[in-house]
């Protein structure tokens, strides 16, 4: 968006923990000049009690749904100086990112205060480079993918149920021994701290403004296979009915799909959703759409994704042909089942320059489709065979699994 007049500018002001009265002079002046002030209910109530003189400002609650409502709100008040109030640093899991995405950096100016994450790290003496900041939604499944020995997490809660949900997710993941520190009302005179362990966490009276810091410690019977985000989780990490891209084939597919943070994958004919789930586990910003026509399998994908912390996955219960009419353009595509020439052509058409497609085939008929596709679009064809050591009478022998043909291609101009 192009730069507008000063009256068109949107100032996003971070409010310190001690309230509006402790704003620095520059931020206080911005709020005092505002014609429209937009904030959540808690900060709006504080505005009405504030000693800052705001003669004729219109006070507006943050809209819901946020993105569409914020665009409508801003467009309806064009030419009026607008201030969005946020807690702490608006660019730390705050409204600052949304405002910039919607209106651009030429129009939006950010005025940060100290974030709750920075205050939490200061209280515990955790340098920024030694810990991860995680924002959880309802259920706190985002925590699972971050579980690894000695990891430090600063977890921004969804609501008052979050600390108990965080404890439950850690325990389910085999990290019930982890230390949890709940910090509330950081930076105020009411600041409190509660220490405990995930497996025995019990706190019924949770303050409204809190976050949870975690020092991850695995239980003695924890599963080390789940600690890494390297592709190729064990097959038994997924609930499935046999329709599963097996471990070594999945690792081979992800190697050619080359996940990049923030990208979107189509997992077509997803089965148990293993490829899409591992794609999302590579980085919390990654997203995937798993298309699976069977409702029971689709439900398994959702459960597998939650249990393994792949919160960026969306499940579409439909045929591949029908789903392709509605999906957002992908960065990469995996076709694990139901491959047809039409699906390949539509997927290739949807991919951007440098988009990647990987397809697997186990039958002669589907293999011939991949051969034809490679002649049209290029790429590499490989046949992958796996043998496992098994008992053979009183001896041992190698038992081959069914070979899989893999086609991998990168779209060029």
Angle between helices 66-76 and 95-103 (to 10 degrees): 60
In this structure, the answer to whether residues 263 and 387 fall within a common structural domain is yes
By C-alpha distance, which of 365, 298, 317 is closest to 338? Answer: 365
Q: What is the pLDDT of residues 220-258, one digit of tens each?
A: 988 888 888 899 999 999 999 989 999 999 999 999 999
Instruction: Give the pLDDT confidence score for residue 154 in this predicted structure.
Output: 97
Instruction: Give the pLDDT confidence score for residue 223 in this predicted structure.
Output: 84
The first and second tokens of residue 20, run together, are 């509006």
Structural domain contains residue 1 = no
In this structure, the answer to whether residues 95 and 156 fall within a common structural domain is no
CA 124 to chain centre: 26
What pTM value is reported for the model?
0.86
User: Residue 310 in contact with residue 316, Cβ under 8 Å?
Assistant: no
In this structure, the answer to whether residues 141 and 79 fall within a common structural domain is no
Structural domain contains residue 37 = yes
Q: Is the pLDDT of residue 79 over 90?
A: no
3-state DSSP of the chain = CCCCCHHHCEEEEEECCCCHHHCCHHHHHHHHHCCEEEECHHHHHHHHHCCCCCCCCEEEECCCCHHHHHHHHHHHCCCCCEEEEEECCCCCCCHHHHHHHHHCCCCEEEECCCCHHHHHHHHHCCCHHHCEEEECCCCCHHHHHHCCCCCEEEEECCCCCHHHHHHHHHHHCCCCCCEEEEEECCCCCCCEEEEEEHHHCCCCCCCCCEEEEEECCCCCCCCHHHCCCCCCCCHHHCCCCCCCCCHHHHHHHHHHHCCCCCCEEEEECCCCCHHHHHHHHCCCCCEEEEECCCHHHHHHHHHHHHHCCCCCEEEECCCHHHHCCCCCCCCEEEECCCCCHHHHHHHHHHCCCCCEEEEEECCHHHHHHHHHHHHHHCCEEEEECCEEEEEECCEEEEEECCCEEEEEEECCC
Structural domain contains residue 143 = yes
Q: Looking at 40-54, 76-90, 281-295, 339-353, which range is the least confident one? A: 40-54
Structural domain contains residue 316 = yes
In this structure, the answer to whether residues 56 and 68 fall within a common structural domain is yes
Band (pLDDT 50/70/90 cuts) for residue 135 is very high
Q: Looking at 43-47, 267-271, 338-342, 360-364, which range is the least confident one? A: 43-47
In this structure, the answer to whether residues 122 and 174 fall within a common structural domain is yes
What is the DSSP pairing of strand 287-291 with strand 313-316?
parallel
In this structure, the answer to whether residues 104 and 137 fall within a common structural domain is no
Q: Is the pLDDT of residue 406 over 90?
A: yes
Query: Higher confidence at residue 54 or residue 117?
Result: 117
Q: Is the pLDDT of residue 161 over 90?
A: yes
In this structure, the answer to whether residues 209 and 84 fall within a common structural domain is no
In this structure, the answer to whether residues 385 and 242 fall within a common structural domain is yes
Q: Is the pLDDT of residue 362 over 60?
A: yes
Band (pLDDT 50/70/90 cuts) for residue 1 is very low
Mean pLDDT in residue range 276-295: 96
In this structure, the answer to whether residues 181 and 266 fall within a common structural domain is no
Structural domain contains residue 265 = yes
**Residue 320 belongs to domain spanning:** 229-410
Q: Is the pLDDT of residue 50 over 80?
A: no
Q: How many domains does the chain divide into?
A: 3
By C-alpha distance, which of 274, 266, 270 is closest to 249? Answer: 274
Q: Is the pLDDT of residue 6 over 60?
A: no
Of 81, 114, 147, the position where a domain reaches its end is 114
What is the DSSP pairing of strand 356-361 with strand 404-410?
antiparallel
Structural domain contains residue 187 = yes
Query: Higher confidence at residue 18 or residue 216?
Result: 216
148 exposure class (CB count in 10 Å sphere: 0-12, 13-18, 19+) = middle
Band (pLDDT 50/70/90 cuts) for residue 342 is very high
Structural domain contains residue 343 = yes
Mean pLDDT in residue range 97-125: 95
Of 114, 136, 161, the position where a domain reaches its end is 114
Q: What is the pLDDT of residues 320-335, one digit of tens each?
A: 999 999 999 999 999 9
Structural domain contains residue 223 = no
The first and second tokens of residue 13, run together, are 């002001």
């Amino acid at each position: 968006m192009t730069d507008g007049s000063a009256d068109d500018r949107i100032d996003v002001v971070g409010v310190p923990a001690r309230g509006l009265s402790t704003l620095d002079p520059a931020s206080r002046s911005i709020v005092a000049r505002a014609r429209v002030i937009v904030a959540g209910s808690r900060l709006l109530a504080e505005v009405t009690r504030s000693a800052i003189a705001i003669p004729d400002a219109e006070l507006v609650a943050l809209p819901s749904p946020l993105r569409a409502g914020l665009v409508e709100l801003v467009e309806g008040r064009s030419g009026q100086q607008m201030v969005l109030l946020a807690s702490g640093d608006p660019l730390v899991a705050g409204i600052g990112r949304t405002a910039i995405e919607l209106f651009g950096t030429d129009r939006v100016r950010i005025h940060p205060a100290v974030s709750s994450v920075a205050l939490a790290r200061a209280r515990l003496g955790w340098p920024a480079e030694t810990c991860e900041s995680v924002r959880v939604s309802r259920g706190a499944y985002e925590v699972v993918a971050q579980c690894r020995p000695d990891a430090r997490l600063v977890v921004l809660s969804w609501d008052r149920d979050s600390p108990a949900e965080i404890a439950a997710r850690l325990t389910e993941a085999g990290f019930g021994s982890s230390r949890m520190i709940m910090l509330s009302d950081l930076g105020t005179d009411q600041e409190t701290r509660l220490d405990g362990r995930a497996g025995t966490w019990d706190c019924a009276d949770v303050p409204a403004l809190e976050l949870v810091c975690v020092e991850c410690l695995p239980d003695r019977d924890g599963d080390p296979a789940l600690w890494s985000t390297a592709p190729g989780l064990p097959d038994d990490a997924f609930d499935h009915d046999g329709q599963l891209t097996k471990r070594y084939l999945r690792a081979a597919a992800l190697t050619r799909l080359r996940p990049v943070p923030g990208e979107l994958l189509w997992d077509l004919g997803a089965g148990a959703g293993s490829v899409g789930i591992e794609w999302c586990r590579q980085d919390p910003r990654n997203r995937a759409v798993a298309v699976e026509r069977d409702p029971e399998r689709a439900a398994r994908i959702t459960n597998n994704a939650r249990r393994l912390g792949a919160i960026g996955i969306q499940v579409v219960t439909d045929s591949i042909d029908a789903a392709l009419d509605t999906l957002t353009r992908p960065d990469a595509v995996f076709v694990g089942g139901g491959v047809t020439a039409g699906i390949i052509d539509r997927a290739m058409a949807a991919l951007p320059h440098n988009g990647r497609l990987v397809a697997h085939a186990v039958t002669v008929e589907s293999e011939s489709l991949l051969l034809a596709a490679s002649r049209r679009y290029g790429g590499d064809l490989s046949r992958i065979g796996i043998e496992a050591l098994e008992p053979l009478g009183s001896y041992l022998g190698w038992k081959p699994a069914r070979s899989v043909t893999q086609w991998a291609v990168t779209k060029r101009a």
